[in-house]
Amino acid sequence: MSNALNLTAPVDTLAMEFTRDFDAPVASLFLAHADPDLLTQWLGPHGLQMEVTEWDFRAHGGYRYVHRNSEGSFVFNGTFHSVRDDEFILQTFEFDGAPDMVNLEYLWFDDLGGGRSRLRGRAICPTPDARDALLSSGMADGMTQGYDKLDALLAGS
């Protein structure tokens, strides 16, 4: 079974959608998104160090984190709007380098049985240009690298 990232951008929408399967139970996959100590071990591409500076994982809570490499610091923040354990997260996502370009992100956690799970996501951008800029930024490679790191983390849990 393939665990490859499937990232699409439906025509005539502001959305990006993805699916990614994992050889781990839903509860472990969800925890890796909920626990900031786990999140720092996998989120983002290789070569970045991550520090979580704010984390309130609950409906109407929020987050802020920094990715660093030799080229500088990259700060991200958002608000958790809905959190249902092992099922669903709805959050906003904003890069400080592109103020006022807030994305709305939906994450669904599906139990595939047999200790496997699927992460489904949909991000809605404020403009077509913002969506296209994200897609051309190397986002797919960064997501693939991050999810490969998550695979390794989940295999050790």
The full set of domain ranges for the chain reads: 6-155
Q: What is the pTM of this model?
A: 0.93
Q: Can you tell me the mean pLDDT for 137-151?
A: 92
Q: What pLDDT, on a 0 to 100 scale, did the predictor assign at position 157?
A: 63
Q: Please tell me which residue, 41 or 140, carries the higher pLDDT value.
A: 41
3-state helix vs strand vs coil in the chain, percent to 5: 25, 45, 35
Of the pLDDT bands very low, low, confident and very high (cuts 50, 70, 90), residue 1 is low
Q: Which two tokens stand for residue 10?
A: 């439906």
Angle separating helix axes 128-135 and 139-155, nearest 10 degrees: 60
The string of pLDDT tens digits covering residues 114-136 is: 999 999 999 999 998 888 888 88
Q: Can you tell me the mean pLDDT for 9-22?
A: 92
Measure Cα distances from 133 to 33, 38, 50, 103, 129 in Å. 25, 28, 23, 13, 6
Task: For residue 51, give the nearest of 64, 70, 35 by alpha carbon.
Answer: 64
Q: Can you tell me the mean pLDDT for 76-89?
A: 97
Q: What pLDDT, on a 0 to 100 scale, did the predictor assign at position 2?
A: 67
Distance (Å, whole) CA 139 – CA 13: 18
Residue 41: is its pLDDT beyond 80? yes
Of the pLDDT bands very low, low, confident and very high (cuts 50, 70, 90), residue 54 is very high
Q: Can you tell me the mean pLDDT for 81-107?
A: 94
CATH class, 6-155 region: alpha beta
Task: Transcribe 52-120 into DSSP letters.
Answer: EEEE--STT-EEEEEEEETTEEEEEEEEEEEEETTTEEEEEEEETTSTT--EEEEEEEEEEETTEEEEE
